[in-house]
Structure 1
Amino acid sequence: MKHVTLLFAFISLLGAAAFAAHHGGKWHSLFDGKTLDGWTANKENPNSYFVENGNLVVRGGRSHLFYTGKVGGANFKNFELKMKVKTMDNANSGVYFHTAYQDEGWPSQGFEAQVNTSHKDPKKTGSLYAIANVYVPMEEEEPFVVRVGRMGAEVYREKAPSTDGQWFDYHIKVVGDEITLRVNGEITAAWTQPEGYKGPNPNMAGRRIGSGTIAFQAHDPGCEVHYKDIQIKLLD
């Protein structure tokens, strides 16, 4: 029953126009294009992040870069977050939100907006990872429309909504129990957290709406992703 409720909420919201309403407020820059001031890399591979030509470049071993600056006290609940992103071939990254600093490992708290155009992981850019996934099957898989499993709902697409080597607009909005992701203006995932939700599976119990900071993921040494124009609007 839990999976049916999740699927219904996901599909119904994809067709809704709720995302169109914009709250008032000011956009705040989280990245100055020159330094990593206001950001803290965890201890795994802190050199996976650097600034080049005005871009935040993510390249190197697994690590996470957490926003620890002054905007919003680095603790965001209801917000809009926008940025420009460019993936290189076979790159995997992600934008975490409602998360918290930890020294190592994949963040146990919060959600991940997936960044992946051509990496082998079939969950592509625009996915609310492990909850509402933009799914491009492996070659040996049969096409489908929608399915639900241990890693959330999966909606079939023939290709990712992003293109390697090209900048795309990524927009994340959280209001109350609703999360919406857009890629180049297209809604790719929209989800309402059900009452009593305990995460998509027992290993992801911290993937629930609350509040927290923003973080960028360095996935593995073979991945390179660029970010710029990172801005947030507080909706509280």
Structure 2
Amino acid sequence: MNSRRWPLGTLAALAISMGAASAAQAQEWVSLFDGKTLSGWTVGGGGSETKWEVVDGEIRGSGKASMLYSPKTYKNFKYRAEVKINDHGNSGLYFRSPTNKGNFVDGYEAQIDSTHTDPIRTGSLYGFVHVYKKLVPPDTWFTYEIECVDKVWRGKPGAFITIRVNGEELYQFMDFANTWKDGGYFAFQQHDPGSKVSIRKIEVQELP
């Protein structure tokens, strides 16, 4: 039997290369929207008076209050989407939602709101951290990015949630109450008949 001895430097280089490849694979962005259909997504609530449709490569929500849920659940992740809300419109980007039945109060909500009568604006983590400044004008595309990872800080476990708008980090919120501690669905909210939300380029990175 022939055996081959590898120089230590070569073995180290191989290990580094394999580690880098594994890290790159782990950090790959996966698209959740094919730009043509709502395949795999589920509408919760609203009945026949709500509408979720794909037009010109984007998802559009209108009509009666409802939710649009992702095909599967996620716990630790980076998540991003390009979003646009109409003038006086209201929506939300939900995550760790334990249900896909159309309940507004289940899961964390990253607010989508530029000029609605509700003064809690885009960039807010609804019920936890509120932003009252208008960061994005209505009818304007922007990139929303959420990172949610379970960590331990000074011996206390919690969900560490980072919110970014157009690449700018607004804050990191540490939820030591573990309000939504399990994995859950992503969802988009259709808040009311006067709201019209558009979404495109929905992507996720699952994290350990």
Q: TM-score, normalised by structure 2?
A: 0.79
In structure 2, the residue matched to 1:160 is 134
Q: Kindly report structure 1 stretches of 4+ aligned residues shifted beyond 6 Å.
A: none
Change (3 A) 1:234 1:91: same
Distance 1:27 1:34 in 2: 19
Verify: 1:209 aligned to 2:173, yes or no.
no
In structure 2, the residue matched to 1:45 is 47
CA contact (8 A) 1:95 1:217 kept: yes
Q: Which amino acid in 2 is paired with 1:168?
A: F
Q: Secondary structure at the match of 2:131?
A: strand
CA contact (8 A) 1:126 1:189 kept: no
Verify: 1:65 aligned to 2:68, yes or no.
yes
Cα RMSD between the aligned structures?
Answer: 1.8
State the shift of 1:208 in Å.
2.5
Q: Secondary structure at the match of 2:125?
A: coil
State the shift of 1:105 in Å.
3.6
Any unmatched runs of 5+ in structure 1?
1-21, 69-73, 136-158, 199-206
Distance 1:33 1:208 in 2: 30
Verify: 1:86 aligned to 2:94, yes or no.
no
Any unmatched runs of 5+ in structure 2?
1-23, 151-158
Q: Secondary structure at the match of 2:37?
A: coil
Q: Which amino acid in 1 is paired with 2:109?
A: E
Aligned mate of 1:114, from 94, 97, 111: 111
| Structure with bigger gyration radius | 2
Change (3 A) 1:105 1:210: closer
Verify: 1:126 aligned to 2:128, yes or no.
no
Distance 2:108 2:102 in 1: 17
In structure 2, the residue matched to 1:138 is none
In structure 2, the residue matched to 1:98 is 96
In structure 2, the residue matched to 1:16 is none
CA contact (8 A) 1:134 1:188 kept: no
State the shift of 1:77 in Å.
0.9
Q: TM-score, normalised by structure 1?
A: 0.70
CA contact (8 A) 1:45 1:62 kept: no
Q: Which amino acid in 1 is paired with 2:169?
A: I
Verify: 1:186 aligned to 2:168, yes or no.
yes
Verify: 1:75 aligned to 2:73, yes or no.
yes
User: Quick one: percent identity of the two aligned structures?
Assistant: 38
State the shift of 1:45 in Å.
3.3
In structure 2, the residue matched to 1:232 is 204
CA contact (8 A) 1:85 1:225 kept: yes
In structure 2, the residue matched to 1:170 is 144
